[in-house]
Amino acid sequence: MATIRPATPTDMGFLAHMLRLIAGEPGKPRTLEECRADPRIACYVDGWSSDQLGVICMDADARIGAAWLRQFTPSDQSRGFVSPTIPELSLALVPEYQGRGRGAYLRDAFLALAQRHGVNSISAAARRDAPGLQRFLAEGGFSPVSEGETEITYLHVCQ
């Protein structure tokens, strides 16, 4: 059974690994060096600290996923930017645990936690060539709010 716990500074390497998984094309994670070299990707881990909302998904003693929020400004050029007052979600699960309901658990538990922390809305981005991620976001209550050439930006309003 999966559980979540708060992310801490000791999880930064794991967050960077999770970022690698979601930064590339479906099934083709980027290297850590590629993520660090691209400011539009590096910003999701750089500047994150444990005073911002983030969790690690655990299965027994193994870290299997993570979800965290980052607040951005228009000049940060993040992928799913909506407003400086709306944080953007990053969520990833290690491939071996995908398709088993753990991602939905992580998403739903994290959204409930965000709401308890007073977060009103959350944005997220999905590549146009990732219909599974688009469905995953829609199933979590995210609605598309803008579409670009390669990505769709979604918004979740916490109820």
Beta bridge pairs of residue 92 = 66
pLDDT in tens, 91-138: 999 989 888 889 999 999 999 999 999 999 999 999 998 899 999 999
From the number of C-beta atoms within 10 Å of its C-beta (0-12, 13-18, 19+), residue 32 rates as middle
23-27, 94-98, 146-150: least confidently modelled range: 23-27
Helix pair angle (131-139, 102-116), 10° resolution = 50
CATH label of the domain that carries residue 19:
3.40.630.30
Task: Please check the confidence at residue 24 and state whether its pLDDT lies above 80.
Answer: no
Percentage of residues in the chain with pLDDT exceeding 90?
60
Question: Structural domain tally of the chain?
Answer: 1
pTM above 0.85, yes or no: yes
Half-sphere exposure of 42 (CA within 13 A, CB side): 9
For residue 100, the enclosing domain spans: 2-157
List pLDDT tens digits, range 30-83. Answer: 888 898 888 888 888 888 888 889 999 999 999 999 999 999 888 876 888 899
- Residue 138, CA distances (Å) to 17, 131, 153 in order: 25, 10, 11
